[in-house]
Copies of this chain bind each other. A is one copy, B any other.
Amino acid sequence: MPTPPRAAALRLGIAGLGTVGIGVVKIVQRHATLLESRCGRPVEIVAVSARDRTKNRDADLSGYAWEDDPVALARRGDVDVFVELMGGHEGAAKAALEAAIAGGKDVVTANKALLAHHGQALAEAAEAAGRVIRFEAAVAGGIPVIKTLTEGLAGNAMRRVMGVMNGTCNYILTRMDSAGLPYDAVFEEARQLGYLEADPNLDVGGIDAGHKLSLLAAIAFGTRVSFDAVELEGIGRISIDDIRRAGDMGYKIKLLGVAQMTGRGLEQRMTPCLVPADSPLGQLQGGTNMVVLEGDSVGQIVLRGPGAGEGPTASAVMSDVIEIARGCRLPTFGQPAASLADPIPARANSPAPYYLRLELIDKPGALAKVATVLGEAGISISRMRQYGHDDASAPVLIVTHKTTRDAVDHAISCLPATGVVAGEPVAIRIEAV
C-alpha cells in the first residue's frame, strides 16, 4: 500500500516558558512519533515567547523562533494554535489571547484566572471568529476533568460538582493533621517548599480553587462563568483543634468546592467542609486533587490525580492540542457561549448537617441552655461530645442533623446571650459525599 501523503503539521506558538511551558516543549520533542500517529498529523512548535530570553531553561529551544512580545507571537502567520501559559488575568496574557483569536488562531490555555474573569467575552469572541479556546490544564492539573464534564458526561443533567482543587491547601490541611502542627507553622513550611503562589491568598484564601470551580459550574449547568458569585472562605481560620476534634467525630476538613443548581438558583462555594474520613475525599492526602461529578444518569464519578507540576499540567495542555489537531472543535463551555444562561446566584443554604465546636463555661445547666438555643433555631442534635477540662470552660462538639446555614448563623448569634459560651463558636458544614 503506498504511504498516504503526510498531513499538514499543526503549528504551535507557546507563550510562557515556565514549568508548564517547558513541560509542553519536552512532550512535543519526546513524543513526535506518538503524537503524529495519534493526531493523524505532526505537531510542531514554531515559535516561543517569554519575558527573559537569556534565562537558562531545561529544554533546547534553538529550533524555534523567539518573540519577546507574546502579542507578536499570537499574530504570527505560521502559528495555528496559540498556547498561553503566561498566567495572570489582565495585561499581557489577555491581550495576547485576544490577539490570537482576532488573528484566527485556536487557543489552548492553562489560565484559570483569565477565564474566570473574562471567559464569557473570550468565548464569544472565539466563537464569532470560528476559533476554539480549550483549557483542560486550568482545572485540577493532570486530571482530564474539563473533557470528562464537557464530553464524557454530556448526556447528563449535572446535579452537583465538587472538588478539592488546590493542592497547596490540601497539603497544608493534611500536614497539620498528620504532624499535629498549627496552621502558621505548616503555612511557613509550604512557603519554603515553594508550594505557595507569590500572593499566597490565591491559594489559602480559596481564590485559585474558586476560579476553577466557576469554570466547572459554567460547563455543568450551562451558565455564564460567575466567579464573583462564588462564596469564598479560605483555610486560614482552621485550627489544629478543629482538625483533631473533627477527626474524633470521624471527619476530615477539606477546602471543598461545591457547585449545585437549586430551586433558588446556582450555589457555588469554595469553603472548608467536613467530609467522612473514610470517603474518597476524606482520604485524599497532600497535593493530590479530586473532583466528584454527579449526573442524573451516571450517578457519581470520582476523578483523582496530580493537581499541579510540570508533567501533569503539560499532559493536560497536550490533550487540548491533540483535540484540535484531530479536528474536534467544541464551544469553550460545551455549548455556544451566547446560549449560556445568566445564573441566579443562590446563597449556600442548602440543607446539610453541621459540625459545631464551642467552649462551654462550667456552670450548672450550661449544656441545657445551648441545647435550648439550638432547638429554638430548629436545629436538632445528632451527636454530641463534651471533653474533660481543667479550665473554666470545656470544649463541646456537636454534629447536627440536617439544617441550614441560616439556622446555624441564627443559633450562633443567640449563644452569647446565654452567658455559658466562651469565645467564638466554630460552625463547619458537613458535605454529603
From residue A286, how far is it (CB to closest CB) to chain B in Å? 13
Residues of B within 8 A of A328 (CB): 151, 323, 326-328, 330
Interface of A is mostly: mixed
Q: Which residues of B have CB within 8 Å of A312?
A: 297-299
In whole angstroms, how far apart are the Cα atoms of A319 and B326 in the complex?
18
CB <8 Å contact, B38 and A335: yes
A295 / chain B contacts, CB cutoff of 8 Å: 315
Inter-subunit contact B298/A306 (CB<8 Å): yes
Surface stretch bound by B, among A140-148, A163-171, A178-186 = A140-148
Decide if A155 is an interface residue (CB 8 Å cutoff). yes
Tell me how many chains of this kind the complex includes.
2
Q: Decide if A322 touches B144 in the complex (CB within 8 Å).
A: no
**Bound form: Cα–Cα A63–B35 in Å:** 45
List the B side residues contacting A35 at CB < 8 Å. Answer: 155
| Interchain CB contact under 8 A, A144 and B301 | yes
Which B residues touch A311, using CB under 8 A?
Answer: 296-299
Select one of B280, B296, B336 contacting A304, CB under 8 A.
Answer: B280
Contact yes or no, B155 A37, CB < 8 A: no
A40 proximal to B (CB < 8 A)? yes
Q: Is the beta-carbon distance between A302 and B299 smaller than 8 angstroms?
A: no
Is A234 engaged at the interface, CB distance under 8 Å to the other chain?
no
Residue A34 lies at the interface, judged by CB distance under 8 Å to chain B: yes
- Docked CA distance A143–B299 (Å): 10
Taking residues whose C-beta sits less than 8 angstroms from the other chain, chain A's interface range is 35 or more
Do B319 and A153 touch (CB < 8 A)? yes
A306 to B296, CA, bound (A): 13
The yes or no answer to A339 lying at the interface (CB within 8 A) is yes
- Measured CA separation A89–B328 after assembly (Å): 31
Interfacial chain B residues near A314, Cβ < 8 Å: 155, 297
Chain B nearest CB: distance from A6 CB in Å?
13
Most buried by B among A222, A298, A305, A323: A298
When the two chains form their complex, are residues B152 and A319 in contact, meaning their CB atoms are under 8 A apart?
A: yes
Question: Are the CB atoms of B326 and A327 closer together than 8 Å?
Answer: no
Cβ-based interface call for A283 (8 A): yes
Residue A23 interfacial (CB < 8 Å): yes
A264 on interface, CB distance cutoff 8 Å: no
Q: Which residues from chain B contact A330 at a C-beta distance below 8 Å?
A: 326, 328
Q: A144-B148, A301-B304, A304-B304 are in contact. List 4 more A-B contacts (CB 8 A).
A: A151-B328, A154-B319, A155-B318, A326-B328
Residues of A within 8 A of B (CB): 1, 23, 27, 31, 34-35, 37-38, 40, 136, 142-144, 147-148, 151-157, 222, 278, 280, 283, 295-306, 309, 311-312, 314-319, 321-323, 326-331, 334-336, 338-339
Some 5 contacts from A to B, beta carbons below 8 A apart, are A31-B155, A155-B319, A299-B312, A301-B303, A327-B328
